[in-house]
Amino acid sequence: MGVTRLKRKDRRNKTFSRLEVQFLKLATNLEYGSRSAESKHSQIAKNNAALDIALGK
């Protein structure tokens, strides 16, 4: 059986659904004191600290 190519619409949907899942993974809200709290060595924590310094907080 031959390999079928996805139509343009389906290729687009596949790409967007993959990007949406990636975005949702990155956008999860972490609560203070939870076991899944962001570690102080994570890139997000470092970025937030750098932004605080840049904004003069």
Please report whether residue 32 resides in a domain: no
Say how many C-beta atoms besides its own lie within 10 A of residue 38's C-beta.
13
Please report whether residue 15 resides in a domain: yes
Q: What's the CA angle centered on 41, arms 27 and 52, to 5 degrees?
A: 70
User: Tens digits of per-residue pLDDT, 31-50?
Assistant: 555 555 667 788 888 888 88
Q: Give the DSSP letter of residue 46.
A: H
Please report whether residue 36 resides in a domain: no
Please report whether residue 46 resides in a domain: no
Place of tokens 């990007």: 19
Please report whether residue 33 resides in a domain: no
Average confidence score pLDDT of the chain: 77
Query: How many domains does the chain fold into?
Result: 1
1, pLDDT greater than 70: no
Measured distance CA(31)–CA(51) in Å, rounded: 20
